Amino acid sequence: MWLGAIFSWSSVLQGHVRVMDRWNPPARPLVLLVEGHAGTRAMYALALSAMAFNVVTAQDGAEAHRRVRVLDPDITVMDLPDADGGQFLQDLKQNPRTCDIPIVAVGGGYAERWLCERAERYGFAALFPNACLPDV
């Protein structure tokens, strides 16, 4: 199940990557991964790296703000936001430089209707349930 979710992520992420011109070799797309749980962050970063993405991680919205200021990620993958992450999303969508960065949300253990409402509220490009969590 977990691998199926990751492969589904791959197709969504690849669909949002910028097109490179033919004179420059294609760069590995840059994913900003925002996840508060260290084990989950490491697991998803490893999986995304194995699928030929460059991955930069942040543990919360504040760190994601710092990363987005100096990097130009192709896409953001994040846990369903708390208040800090919600502010990050709002700022990302209001900034002309970052408003077009697609955001994929990952969440788990919630009712499906609640997840869909949250996805619509925050304007996610896609929403996936947490397929699994690492053993702690």
Residue 82 belongs to a domain = yes
* In a domain? residue 133: yes
For residue 74, being part of any structural domain is answered with yes
Is residue 88 a part of any domain in this protein? Answer: yes
Pairing assessment for the beta strands 126-129 and 103-107 based on DSSP bridges: parallel
Tokens of 1: 């199940």
Range of the domain at 77: 1-6+60-136
pTM: 0.74
Q: Could you list the pLDDT tens digit for every one of the 136 residues in the chain?
A: 343 444 455 555 555 544 444 555 557 899 999 998 898 899 899 999 999 899 999 998 889 989 998 998 999 998 876 655 677 888 888 899 998 999 888 876 555 666 677 677 777 888 777 666 555 4
Q: Is residue 65 part of a domain?
A: yes
Number of domains in the chain: 1
Residue 64: inside a domain: yes
Position 112 scores a pLDDT of: 64
Judge whether 15 lies within some domain.
no
Contacts of residue 44, Cβ cutoff 8 Å, sequence gap at least 6 = 33, 35, 77, 106
| Residue 93, pLDDT score | 85
Domain assignment present for 124? yes
Report CA-CA distances (Å) from 103 to 13, 45, 82, 135: 9, 16, 15, 26
CA distance 21 to 119: 33
- The CATH number assigned to the domain holding 108 equals 3.40.50.2300
